A and B are shown apart, each in its own frame.
Chain A
Amino acid sequence: MTAVDRLRDSRTAVLSLGAVLAMLVLPFTGILSTFHLGLVISAMVLALFAMSFNLLFGYTGMLSFGHAAYFGTGAYTLALALDGQLGFLPSAFESFFPALLLAVVVAALVALVLGYLCVQRGDIYFAILTLALSMMLYETIYTWNDFTGGSDGITVLAEPIELGGLTLNLIDTGTFYYLTLAILVVSIVFIWRLINSPYGELLLSIRENPERATMIGVPVKRYQLSAFVIAGTFAGLAGTLFAVRTFIVTPHTLHWSMSAEPVMMTLLGGPSAFVGPIIGAVMFVGLEQFLSNITEYWQFGLGLLIVPIVLFFPDGLVGILRGDSGGIVDVRDYLSGLVGDEPTGKEDTHE
């Protein structure tokens, strides 16, 4: 490790510690109303969702358009368990933490089964299949009225939790804020370790060049599937928090438009940076607040943002702040290309 690395590492450590401390005291500062604190919770939940997505997209090179399948599975499992509808299980699962654990395990299992199908054919089919299979789950939940409540969904009532003399009332915004923060921080540390591990390094090799990764002895499909299951697990975890926060779970949590949210957040923040999805989640919640005042169909505005971001700033806000857009198309080239007839961005690479 060089001195520069050490310096960078210690700077990261100080910054992260500072961020966690700031988040810890935030509710006490009084600068946020309950409503705004709620928005912060939403951003944290979505940040977790987006990070799980980016473990696949940014670190393994797999674009999942069906990530809501695991998010929604987590949400539904928690709701059904708390509601006592999983009668075949011990009643212990009707309380929050066991139900949460169950939800995460079920999300992982669903990710294992669907993921197995999705990694069968590489490249572009992966995106298509994740989308298609997540919509299958959506249709199933939507049609399976008796069990899932169909389009009405299931209300989520988290009873207060007794924890060693301490009573946690999840309906209380402040309490839920801290629970969400704790889960988010632990997850971030876990994902950070993961991408910096030997295993994570092989994921990077798959992102860069799956064909070559095979030829250096990486069982590519097995790695892709394992990353998919890990990502699905964290998405399920985010889904459980989402369920508690919104008090109701509807089929929308599995719909492709829900799958699109982590995609958009990651693009906004920047997939190439670890914090990209977190920043993107904050931007997303902010944009939603701002744009939905103008039109109910506020994602129109998001689309107008996404197109130029992908073209010119694929490293998102983080890339722009770093002063390195990473764009394949230069804005000026593009604009002059519109006037002249030169096609832009069609540089052939060495073959």
Chain B
Amino acid sequence: MVTLDSIALAIVSGIANGMLLFLAAVGLTLIFGVLDVLNFAHGSLYMLGAYFTYFLVSDGGLLASLPGSFWLALVVAPLLVALVGVVMERFIIRPVYDQDHEFQLLLTFGLVLVIDNGARILWGTDFRSVSPPGLIDFQINLLGSGYPFYNVFLIIVGALAALTMWLVFERTRVGKIVRASSQDRGMANALGVNVPLVFTGTFLLGSLLAGLGGALAAPYQSIQPTMGESIIIESFIIVVIGGLGSFGGAFAGALLIGVVNSLAFLYLPSLQPVIPFLLVAVVLLTRPAGLFGKEVAA
């Protein structure tokens, strides 16, 4: 039944899911904006974030016996993913910074094959799940119905992450340095900025965010090796809509896709899988440069 309340609830759920999409897409877009590298394997890092969380908190896991294991995992898993990301950047991606984007895509596509199939070999293809920690594992009363608080928690964490990032990039010296390096490498270098360090740092941050997204997703969706490919395709859709390299575009695009998906799931279930793609088609035909795209000339 279509009531205002049910629409409102669907929107809240959509925003919650949109925050996870944002955490994945923002790293992709950040790395593209600063390093000019499109990392196909970014979704695989998200998938690793979820698996690491699972192995840290499930029975026999490293953190399982500790109190507050989920909260610890929320810190440790993203750090582990960031480590994977940094190794990837240092040994595989760094040599191709100045190459064509196609080239980078092919290279990181090889990494997708390795990581995603590696996960299948190591961990099998069965679904895994993690339950939310007791502290936030309850229902709240939202517009007269019971609603999982975990979704609200996702919204809070996502919004905090977005706000922090925005403040760091717009208001701090570090943010200025990163933006300068993304605009003109040569100039930043001449001004004494350690550009390789900025790049590695950016890759680390992007991976960390993907890992955080995956870790937060662990209690939210079933954990399986194909999570990475789903999220990278969704992230691609988001950056087509929002414009690659645009922070605001990633945020708006992620929330838009989250909410549209959630509404479609409720009211147009048979069309739901194709709706994000239709959205892409509409954006392409009406605003070819994307919602936040900028005009570029040769």
Q: A residues near B, CB below 8 A?
A: 57, 61, 63, 65, 117, 120-121, 123-125, 127-129, 131-133, 135-136, 139-140, 142-143, 211, 256, 260, 263, 267, 295-300, 302-307, 309-311, 314, 328-329, 334, 337-338, 343-348
Q: Does B102 contact A (CB under 8 A)?
A: yes
B274 touches A346 (CB 8 A): no
B106 touches A345 (CB 8 A): no
Instruction: For the complex, give the distance between the alpha carbons of A292 and B236 in Å.
Output: 31
B117 touches A297 (CB 8 A): yes
Residue of A nearest to B91 (CB): A338
Q: What are the 3 tightest A-B residue pairs by CB atom distance, in nearest-first order? A: A303-B113, A306-B110, A136-B277
Q: B residues near A, CB below 8 A?
A: 38, 91-92, 94-99, 101-103, 105-107, 109-115, 117-118, 120-121, 186, 196, 229, 233, 236-237, 239-240, 244, 270, 273-274, 277-278, 280-281, 284-285, 288-290, 298
Interface SS of chain B: helix
Shortest B280–chain A CB gap in Å is 6
Q: Point out the residues of chain A lying under 8 angstroms from B38, CB to CB.
A: 124
Residue of A nearest to B270 (CB): A143
A132 touches B236 (CB 8 A): yes
Given A121-B289, A307-B110, 13 other A-B residues pairs in contact with their CB atoms under 8 A: A121-B290, A124-B105, A139-B273, A140-B273, A143-B270, A256-B229, A260-B113, A303-B117, A306-B110, A307-B107, A310-B106, A311-B96, A346-B98
Q: Point out the residues of chain B lying under 8 angstroms from A136, CB to CB.
A: 273-274, 277-278
Residue of A nearest to B105 (CB): A127
B288 touches A345 (CB 8 A): no
Q: Which of A139, A142, A297, A299 has the most CB of B within 10 A?
A: A297
Q: Which of B95, B229, B233 contacts A334 (CB 8 A)?
A: B95
Q: Point out the residues of chain A lying under 8 angstroms from B97, CB to CB.
A: 345-346
Shortest B104–chain A CB gap in Å is 9
Instruction: For the complex, give the distance between the alpha carbons of A132 and B256 in Å.
Output: 17
Instruction: For the complex, give the distance between the alpha carbons of A107 and B281 in Å.
Output: 19
A267 touches B239 (CB 8 A): no
Given A143-B270, A307-B111, A135 contacting B105 (CB threshold 8 A):
no
A63 touches B102 (CB 8 A): yes
Given A133-B277, A142-B273, A345 contacting B98 (CB threshold 8 A):
yes
Q: Which of A263, A314, A346 has the most CB of B within 10 A?
A: A346
B244 touches A345 (CB 8 A): no
A348 touches B98 (CB 8 A): yes
Shortest A273–chain B CB gap in Å is 17
Shortest B283–chain A CB gap in Å is 10
B236 touches A128 (CB 8 A): yes
Show 20 residue pairs from A and B whose CB-CB distance is below 8 angstroms, ordered by the A residue. Answer: A120-B288, A121-B284, A124-B105, A129-B240, A132-B233, A133-B281, A135-B277, A300-B118, A303-B110, A303-B111, A303-B114, A306-B109, A307-B92, A310-B107, A311-B107, A329-B96, A343-B196, A344-B94, A345-B99, A346-B98
